[in-house]
Amino acid sequence: MIVGEVVGNIWATRKEEGLTGLKFLVVQPDSSFSSFSPSTFVAVDRIGAGVGDKVMVTNGSSASRIDNVQLPIDSLIIGIVDSVEVERGEGNG
Amino acid sequence: MIVGEVVGNIWATRKEEGLTGLKFLVVQPDSSFSSFSPSTFVAVDRIGAGVGDKVMVTNGSSASRIDNVQLPIDSLIIGIVDSVEVERGEGNG
Amino acid sequence: MIVGEVVGNIWATRKEEGLTGLKFLVVQPDSSFSSFSPSTFVAVDRIGAGVGDKVMVTNGSSASRIDNVQLPIDSLIIGIVDSVEVERGEGNG
Amino acid sequence: MIVGEVVGNIWATRKEEGLTGLKFLVVQPDSSFSSFSPSTFVAVDRIGAGVGDKVMVTNGSSASRIDNVQLPIDSLIIGIVDSVEVERGEGNG
Amino acid sequence: MIVGEVVGNIWATRKEEGLTGLKFLVVQPDSSFSSFSPSTFVAVDRIGAGVGDKVMVTNGSSASRIDNVQLPIDSLIIGIVDSVEVERGEGNG
């Protein structure tokens, strides 16, 4: 997963079936997590994230199954980040 | 998902089974959304997008299930964008 | 999907089960479509493509289901391109 | 798979269903294995990895099936590395 | 698929369930096939590849189904290359 910040919203009235009612947010990857998507991308949100939130995002077809239905989406916000703790450690944590 | 503009069409008479009748469009990713595909790529369209339209595109195997049939495609236009609103916000939207 | 040119063949006698009899071609992505694979890669072909042909290629696990059997392949030639028309248009096509 | 080092932890109280109780670690890819993710990313851990451990990580939807349940995650720590032996050899090992 | 050379082995005693007994090899992508993974990565081998062998590798979840069991792996050696023939041709092969 990558970490990013919600920076906006995107609307599309004409959509593929099954996508009506879903919320599409624009996410800017956190610079240290920018491996998969250095620039902004669109993710579906179902847990109430909003602009300014730091979020954890799953990409690829892992993101496509919602309530046991396969949807044509490839990016899903899976968590609103409380905190990230990055350190160097010796041996098993 | 990424956002891009439809810039053309592509035709292929000889195709894998199950792909006849599908519309293949050439999409140029929007520069701020160019993470996954900095250069043009081909996406299937079923919602009536055309050249000049700003579209939302799902990539990868999330794009391969159409009307419950698994097809050998890896890119599907899922929305014609009405508007994108990008801002910086404080805390939860 | 991306567009590329078939530039060669590759042979491997010792292979994973289920892959015997499949044709493996070397594909060079078209420079304007080089997003997913800037350099050459190997794709399975079942529609009679050959060296010099311009082809449309599906990558990832969308490519892995052939005749309803899941195979360990991640790239499949899905079309032999007749023509590509790239233009700029205003509004819906 | 890629190899990396666990460099931290990440917490998110508000999460997608089914993710409660999972441990999310921050992984820095090993420089020689940085192909898929040159910068840090988040992976789920179920085998007791901790900060400082060298780990093997599976990315993409291969990582999304845990105890036969499909979860919206795209990165899973699958091994704690004992040793890596890289050499040049002639012919079949 | 990409082509690469087996350059080493990697061992991990503590692993996710279902991975015991699998052989993990370190693969260096062939420079002309380096699109998907410019640097080394780890692939599972079941067909007897060894250090120095030129191999064909499937990446992503196409690699995750072995003997009809879904495993958390994203890279599988699918062939030991006999020969690669890259040329420019006119029209259909």
Which residue in B has a C-alpha nearest to residue C69's C-alpha? B70
In this prediction, residues A60-74 reach a mean pLDDT of: 94
In this prediction, residues B42-46 reach a mean pLDDT of: 98
pLDDT of residue B33: 74
CATH architecture of residue range(s) C2-80: Beta Barrel (2.40)
Beta carbons of A85 and D51 less than 8 angstroms apart: no
- Among B33, B36, B78, the residue with its CB nearest the CB of A19 is B78
Model confidence pLDDT, tens digit, residues E46-64: 999 999 999 999 999 999 9
In this prediction, residues B48-73 reach a mean pLDDT of: 96
Domain ranges of chain D: 2-80
Integer Cα distance of A2 and A45 in angstroms: 15
Residues 6+ apart with CB under 8 A from C74: C59, C60, C61, C63, C64, E1, E58, E59, E60, E62, E63
pLDDT of residue D22: 97
Closest Cα in chain E, distance from residue C8 (Å): 4
* Residues paired with residue A55 on neighbouring β-strands, in sequence order: A4, A80
Model confidence pLDDT, tens digit, residues C38-48: 689 999 999 99
Beta carbons of D58 and D36 less than 8 angstroms apart: no
Q: Which residues of B touch A27 (CB under 8 A)?
A: none
Model confidence pLDDT, tens digit, residues A36-52: 556 899 999 999 999 99
Residue A13 burial (10 A CB sphere; 0-12, 13-18, 19+)? exposed
Touching E: which chains, 3+ CB pairs < 8 A?
C, D
CA nearest to A36, candidates E6, B8, D35, B24: D35
pLDDT of residue D31: 83
Integer Cα distance of C27 and C77 in angstroms: 9
Cβ <8 Å between C42 and E90: no
Backbone angles phi, psi at D5, to 5 degrees: -115, 135
Model confidence pLDDT, tens digit, residues D54-76: 999 999 999 999 988 999 999 99
Q: Which residues of C touch E65 (CB under 8 A)?
A: 70, 72
pLDDT of residue E90: 41
Cβ <8 Å between E72 and D91: no
Model confidence pLDDT, tens digit, residues D4-43: 999 999 999 999 999 999 999 999 999 877 655 568 999 9
